[in-house]
Chain A
Amino acid sequence: MIAEPQKQDKHISFGIAIKLGILLAIFAIFASGVTGYYTFSTTRDILSRKATQSMIASTQVLGQRFSMMGQKVADDALFFAQSSLVQDAADSGQDTALFRTTLADQFKSLLSVHPEYFQVRLISAKNYGIELVRVDRAGNNLAIIESKNFQEKLHYPYVYETLKLANGKTYFSKIFINREKGAHAGYGQPTLQVATPVVNKAGSVLGVIVINVELNSMFSILKADLSRQFRLYLTNQDGDYLIHPDKSRTFGFDFGRKFKVQSNFSTTSKIILNQTDTVAVQGMDSEINETVIGGFTRIQFGEAKDNRFVIFGLTAPLNFVLAETDVLYKNWNLIVVAFSLLAILLSAILAQIFVRPLKQLVSSVQQFSANQQLTPVVVKSNDELGLLARSIGKMQVHILTQLNNLNEQNKKLNQEIFEREQIERYEKFRSYTLELLAKKEPLKIILEAVVKGVEQLRPGMLCSILLLDKEGKFLNQGVAPGLPEFYNASIEGTEIGMGVGSCGTAAFTGKRVIVENIQTHPYWVEYKTLASKAGLAACWSQPIFSSSGSVLGTFAIYHRVINSPDNSDINLIEQSAYLASIAIEHKQIEAEINKLAFFDPLTQLPNRRLLLDRFKQAVASMAHTGKGAALLFIDLDKFKAVNDTLGHDMGDLLLQQAAQRLTSCVRESDTVSRLSGDEFVIILQNLGHEAIVTATQTEHIGKKILASLSEPYQLSSHSYRIYPSIGAVLFDATQQVADEVLKQADMAMYQAKKAGGRELYFYDPDMHKTIMDRAHPEAELLHAITQQKEFLLYYQPQVDLFKRVIGAEALIRWISPKRGLIPPADFIPIAEESGLILPLGYWIIRTACQQLAAWAQQPATAHLTLSINISAKQILIPTFVDEVLSLINHAGVNPAKLKLEITESILLDNLEDIIVKMTKLKNSGFNFSIDDFGTGYSSLQYLKRLPLDQLKIDRSFVRDLADDDNDKAIVRTIIAMAKSLNLDVIAEGVETEEQLNQLKQKGCTQLQGYLFGKPVPVNEFNLAVSRNNNLQLSN
């Protein structure tokens, strides 16, 4: 932890020496730079100001030169005007022609020395200002204009204005673009006209001398000695440029544009407004894209009284002007560099001197922090550094002492933290376990959580929990996910005892058993091979105690190496065992509570609460199956007397016996419950679909109960008789309220009690009456069977695809002298219940055999087969095969003509027995058909094993064949299946042509139903067969 910073310490990138050096150097460079810059910039300012001043001066000089040039022109004009030659030439005297020719020559001389002049004229004051002498510069030539080409000029200002002037005065025109016609070169050029009057001695004005000056030529002379870097400007007093480096910006007014100096150099407007004579300008000249400085000066022009002026301007790029400062700039740079280098050198030396002892101290401290060993004091000087070094020495000693103390404390703290963490983790797993308990997880899950929790806390430990059975003899239901499967299996069910491993011994003795080495420990003699196979070397087992101190099981910790527990291990074992005990005991209590909550403690029968629950389940199941259900309310008459006379113990005993009897009277799926005292309630489920059947079945069971409960009870030495009263209610899926049904049953029970007891009463009076009337059917049925006169077989034709009758199904009818024709559904269940089905079945087989024998006599009916239904009870009697064989032999009928139909439901029980019997009969030549195929237990398994000949498709599938896709699919599947098993298929309930077509299409070959004929007595049937035969013949 101390090593890291040390590493960094050795890589100091910017030590004090370097920092100090850099700082000093920066300061020195900065100082010399600033000083240099200040000098440089001040110098530049001074230079720039000086340059501006000198440029203003230059413009003034230029202006003066311009004025002087103007004055020179005026002087030239005046010179001529005052010469007698001109006066003579202007006069109208004699010899004027000669004077004028001479004057023209002189004008020519003047023009030849002044390239900027382009026209010199003498103009008369008379004759509308007619020219008298005129010399033009035309290209390089000077032309003396002939008199015929003279023009009248009085309407020009330079004439009519000049004529007004006094002698010796001059007229200066505005500077303009000359547009006067003539041969002169000045046409279209900026022009200045200077004129003066010609006055004779008498004072008469004779004319004017006019000199035209071409301004561009004049200016090229003016600025001839200026550097090209300078830009020269001339404007009129309105600011219009007359001269401009860009010619297109001059004389804007002449073509309607305004190019003004004040819009480029705003300060010049002061001159235009007469506020000052000179201005300095500085700024960006957008035309050359450079910073320029310069000056503008107002120059008086013409006669002073006219107050006319022009503005001269001169600008130059700032860099050009300040070119002198370049040297200064170079020198300044050199000085700054030199000073900077010197400063860096000095700073480095200074820093080195100051920092060396510091470095020594640093390395000494680094050494100390690297190996915590005292280092000798290296700096011995008596200054602050020396003091620092000695202080560091003392501090090192102090630090070492503190460090040792700290290490000691740290160790303790770590140990504490470790232990606390262990506790916290244990707490976590403990609360997790309890959480599982609270969530009512199964015990196995909770115990597994305990085991896994401990294994996680202490890696290397393998845990197991074994539970002791109720008798306290065997260890089982082990939870040990970490131990091998085979090991757990071997341990399971071990009887506890001394020396039966660690756990067996611990459970037996109720004491903790610590086995550090399984291989050598006497307790493990029997098991050490097993343990070594499982790779287990040590086993510590702790009994799990209940709160009352009894042993519930064991909690064991295994190790794969020889190992002995320390205190914390023992602690962990005890706590874990305790945790397991909580879970186990809690679960036991929970089971107990559950039992108390739903069962009557006395009889162990479901109590009212569970009854209500079962009622709900029954209702739900009925909605699904559509089967009937009933509720019986049973009360023991005068039970109170038992308690009173024999005591409560005897009463309880009686109730227990009654409960047992009740339970034995009903099926497992029915519910028998004790409501309170001597009141019992039974729910009967899965009864018949039809109410009457349900009622009959209910009555049957009720009667059974009445009989059973009425038997004497053996109470200790007493034999005691007590009789029950029973109320019965049928209920269906629509009845949701159990209390309502209970109440009805109670009321029915009360009716039974009122009728004297030992009775069964239905809540529904109609139903009661019906059932009571039915008390007779059984006897009637018996009578009818005995008499054998009231039963008849009806025959329903079975046809092939061509509607030819190929056989019939025999269906029993009971024609009671009292009640008329009774349908089979009304008496077959009774026959089944009462066992009368056996004689009835026998009668049917016998009658069928007789009929077959009769048909065999007639050619028209000899081919017919006859199907009869065999009931479950019938086939189950041991003598069934013999009876059938005997009957058929007796009748002398071909057994192949008799088809025995059995229902799927028969096969549910005693399949093997049935197969044996069927096989026997099959071997004798009988045929078998499965009735109602598809409605129940249709398993290929039994289809394959049964010796069948035919499948009969149930009417329920045929009924909706036209519309229901499911039924279509089922029928198609049944037919396909039958074909693959090599069986015939007959469909029953065929009533329409559509159904017939569908069945044909799917491959069904035999058919039965109203479409071909109803079940009819044999006479009618025979008649129909002969009719059918005839019909077939005629076809």
Chain B
Amino acid sequence: MFNKYKLLQFLPVFILLTINSISVFAQETLQILAWPGYADADLVTTFEKRYNVNIEVTLIDSDDVMWNRLTAEKDVNFDVFAVNAAQLQRYIDAGISVPLTSSNIPNTAKQLPRFRDLSVIPGLTRNGKEYAIPYTYSEMGLIYDRNTFPSPPDSFSLMWDKRFQGRVLMYDASEHNFSLAALSLGLENPFQIADSDFHRISQYLVALRRNVLTYYEKPEDATALFMQNNIALLFANYGSQQVTLLKKAGANIGYVIPREGALAWLDCWSITRFAENKTLAEAWINYTLEPQVSRALTLRQGLANTLEDPSTLDKTDKIIWLQQVEDISRRKLLWDKIISGEVLN
């Protein structure tokens, strides 16, 4: 005999189940380590409300800071981090990045085809397991002052040009700067610098140091420096994002991919082994791939998202995806000396 009141007896169970499924994330805190503009407060709040969780966002402005934060001896509790694809392998090596379950991130289906097959992007997979989901990318082109350059400069080597001494802004980073120097010097693989080439390239970077006004870390700082000083060339580590900022600030600038080609970074979300609630971390990644979140990245930061094709890139432009470099710590060690002003004879 089927009795509808029997259903009522199960009602509390249904309610309990429902509440449980809602409250899986209740009262939890999701720790996010990300680059500026990747987790804006309003978008974070929406997620917090939807899942009834707290989110703490920590912003970093360099790969080295990110590495330091994630490899610190104590108090590392980040659940998810936005990492450059070229950096990912060392996080996998260190056991910090752990495989994720892309089926828990259904919004990956909305991504452009080239981001969907993770195996063709260098460094995102290992042993068939997926470690990261592409989120945003940018090529590192050259911003130039239109007053100084009526026609766009065609090479990064102009940054070394004594004519522009004290009018060049460079980004403060160990890895890319070595790669950029190698690229400028015409090395075949800027990501694999031979031991014999290191001294030469270091010297080349010292030369660049002697030609720059200073190094910047954040795009806003770069904008401020550009506006306050008579800057001719700016290495755009943040790509089109910086173009947007500068134009907003009223700078008369142009943006170019020089003939050497531009290094391009691809930032991905990855989950750390510290994540106690992987499901929540994956929910966050899935959330960032929602159109309104990914589009905000483009609209607010000028960064390309993985859902829509960008309009700025020229087809002929040479793009070199950043890859893992031969020895990060070596580059870092050298770079610390260079930035501190050592002469390296």
A117-133 residues at the B interface, CB under 8 angstroms: 128-131
Interface residues as binary, A170-181 with B (CB distance below 8 Å gives 1, 0 otherwise)? 000000000011
Q: Which residue of A lies closest to B66 (CB)?
A: A256
Q: Which residue of A lies closest to B218 (CB)?
A: A253
Known: A181-B337, A181-B340. Contact between A255 and B58, CB under 8 A?
Answer: yes
Q: Does B59 contact A (CB under 8 A)?
A: yes
> Interface with B: A6-14, A153-161, A278-286, which one?
A153-161
Query: Please, which residues of chain A bring their CB within 8 A of the CB of B326?
Result: none
Query: Please, which residues of chain B bring their CB within 8 A of the CB of A151?
Result: 340-343
A402-428 residues at the B interface, CB under 8 angstroms: none
Interface residues as binary, B189-230 with A (CB distance below 8 Å gives 1, 0 otherwise)? 000000000000000000001101111000000000000000
Q: Which residue of A lies closest to B33 (CB)?
A: A256
| A256 x B166 contact (CB < 8 A) | no
Query: Please, which residues of chain A bring their CB within 8 A of the CB of B53?
Result: none
Query: Please, which residues of chain B bring their CB within 8 A of the CB of A131?
Result: 341
Q: Which residue in A128, A157, A255, A257 is a CB contact (below 8 Å) of B210?
A: A128
Known: A255-B65, A256-B60, A256-B65. Contact between A180 and B340, CB under 8 A?
Answer: yes
| Other A-B pairs, 14, CB within 8 Å; known A152-B342, A256-B33 | A128-B210, A128-B341, A130-B341, A151-B340, A152-B210, A153-B341, A180-B341, A181-B336, A181-B340, A255-B58, A255-B60, A256-B58, A256-B61, A257-B58
Q: Which residue in A130, A157, A182, A257 is a CB contact (below 8 Å) of B214?
A: A157
Query: A-B contact count, CB below 8 Å?
Result: 50
| A160 x B166 contact (CB < 8 A) | yes
**Closest-CB distance, B298 to chain A (whole angstroms):** 22
| B215 x A155 contact (CB < 8 A) | yes
The tally of residues in A whose CB lies under 8 Å from a CB in B reads: 19
Of the listed residues B60, B69, B212, B214, the one surrounded by the most CB atoms of chain A closer than 10 A to its CB is B214
**Closest-CB distance, B57 to chain A (whole angstroms):** 8
Q: Is the interface of A mostly helix, strand, loop or mixed?
A: loop
Known: A255-B69, A256-B60. Contact between A181 and B342, CB under 8 A?
Answer: yes
Query: Please, which residues of chain B bring their CB within 8 A of the CB of A155?
Result: 209, 212-215, 341
**Closest-CB distance, B204 to chain A (whole angstroms):** 15
A133-175 residues at the B interface, CB under 8 angstroms: 150-157, 160
A129→B69 CA distance, assembly (Å): 32
| A152 x B341 contact (CB < 8 A) | yes
A-B CB proximity, top 8 nearest: A151-B341, A256-B59, A181-B340, A152-B341, A256-B58, A128-B210, A155-B214, A153-B341
Query: Please, which residues of chain A bring their CB within 8 A of the CB of B69?
Result: 255-256
| A182 x B209 contact (CB < 8 A) | no
A961→B193 CA distance, assembly (Å): 121
**Closest-CB distance, A238 to chain B (whole angstroms):** 12
A128→B214 CA distance, assembly (Å): 12
Q: Which residue of B lies closest to A256 (CB)?
A: B59
Q: Is the interface of B mostly helix, strand, loop or mixed?
A: mixed
A214→B210 CA distance, assembly (Å): 28
Interface residues as binary, A910-928 with B (CB distance below 8 Å gives 1, 0 otherwise)? 0000000000000000000
A926-967 residues at the B interface, CB under 8 angstroms: none
Q: Which residue in A130, A157, A182 is a CB contact (below 8 Å) of B340?
A: A182
- Size class of the B contact interface (CB-based, 8 Å): 20 to 34
Of the listed residues A130, A150, A180, A256, the one surrounded by the most CB atoms of chain B closer than 10 A to its CB is A256
Query: Please, which residues of chain B bring their CB within 8 A of the CB of A181?
Result: 336-337, 340, 342
**Closest-CB distance, A995 to chain B (whole angstroms):** 52
Query: Please, which residues of chain A bring their CB within 8 A of the CB of B214?
Result: 155-157, 160
Known: A256-B58, A256-B60. Contact between A160 and B342, CB under 8 A?
Answer: no
Of the listed residues B58, B213, B342, B343, the one surrounded by the most CB atoms of chain A closer than 10 A to its CB is B343
Interface residues as binary, B139-179 with A (CB distance below 8 Å gives 1, 0 otherwise)? 00000000000000000000000000010000000000000
A442-482 residues at the B interface, CB under 8 angstroms: none
Interface residues as binary, B306-345 with A (CB distance below 8 Å gives 1, 0 otherwise)? 0000000000000000000000000000001100111100
Q: Which residue of B lies closest to A149 (CB)?
A: B342
Interface residues as binary, A241-283 with B (CB distance below 8 Å gives 1, 0 otherwise)? 0000000000000011100000000000000000000000000
**Closest-CB distance, B53 to chain A (whole angstroms):** 19
A859-877 residues at the B interface, CB under 8 angstroms: none
Query: Please, which residues of chain A bring their CB within 8 A of the CB of B59?
Result: 256-257
A153→B215 CA distance, assembly (Å): 12
**Closest-CB distance, B69 to chain A (whole angstroms):** 7
Q: List 25 A-B contacts (CB under 8 A).
A: A128-B209, A128-B210, A128-B341, A129-B341, A130-B341, A131-B341, A151-B340, A151-B342, A151-B343, A152-B210, A153-B341, A155-B212, A155-B213, A156-B214, A160-B166, A181-B337, A182-B340, A255-B60, A255-B65, A255-B69, A256-B58, A256-B60, A256-B65, A256-B69, A257-B58
Query: Please, which residues of chain B bring their CB within 8 A of the CB of A152?
Result: 209-210, 341-343
B71-94 residues at the A interface, CB under 8 angstroms: none
**Closest-CB distance, A159 to chain B (whole angstroms):** 9
Of the listed residues B58, B210, B341, the one surrounded by the most CB atoms of chain A closer than 10 A to its CB is B341
A112→B85 CA distance, assembly (Å): 50
Query: Please, which residues of chain A bring their CB within 8 A of the CB of B337?
Result: 181
A180→B33 CA distance, assembly (Å): 25
B219-243 residues at the A interface, CB under 8 angstroms: none
A152→B213 CA distance, assembly (Å): 13
**Closest-CB distance, A93 to chain B (whole angstroms):** 23
Query: Please, which residues of chain A bring their CB within 8 A of the CB of B341?
Result: 128-131, 151-153, 155-156, 180
Q: Which residue of A lies closest to B34 (CB)?
A: A256
A256→B58 CA distance, assembly (Å): 5
A153→B338 CA distance, assembly (Å): 10
Q: Which residue of A lies closest to B36 (CB)?
A: A256
A1020→B58 CA distance, assembly (Å): 133
Query: Please, which residues of chain B bring their CB within 8 A of the CB of A154?
Result: 210
Q: Which residue of A lies closest to B343 (CB)?
A: A152
**Closest-CB distance, A322 to chain B (whole angstroms):** 36
Query: Please, which residues of chain A bring their CB within 8 A of the CB of B60?
Result: 255-256
**Closest-CB distance, B67 to chain A (whole angstroms):** 13
A129→B341 CA distance, assembly (Å): 9
A255→B68 CA distance, assembly (Å): 10
Query: Please, which residues of chain A bring their CB within 8 A of the CB of B209?
Result: 128, 152, 155
**Closest-CB distance, A187 to chain B (whole angstroms):** 10
Query: Please, which residues of chain B bring their CB within 8 A of the CB of A129?
Result: 341
Interface residues as binary, A563-577 with B (CB distance below 8 Å gives 1, 0 otherwise)? 000000000000000
Query: Please, which residues of chain A bring their CB within 8 A of the CB of B342?
Result: 151-152, 181
**Closest-CB distance, B276 to chain A (whole angstroms):** 21
Q: Which residue of B lies closest to A129 (CB)?
A: B341
Query: Please, which residues of chain B bring their CB within 8 A of the CB of A256?
Result: 33, 58-61, 65, 69
Q: Which residue of A lies closest to B170 (CB)?
A: A155
A256→B78 CA distance, assembly (Å): 13
Of the listed residues A131, A150, A155, A255, the one surrounded by the most CB atoms of chain B closer than 10 A to its CB is A155
Query: Please, which residues of chain B bring their CB within 8 A of the CB of A130?
Result: 341
Of the listed residues B33, B212, B213, B340, the one surrounded by the most CB atoms of chain A closer than 10 A to its CB is B340
**Closest-CB distance, B187 to chain A (whole angstroms):** 25
A180→B210 CA distance, assembly (Å): 17
Interface residues as binary, B261-303 with A (CB distance below 8 Å gives 1, 0 otherwise)? 0000000000000000000000000000000000000000000
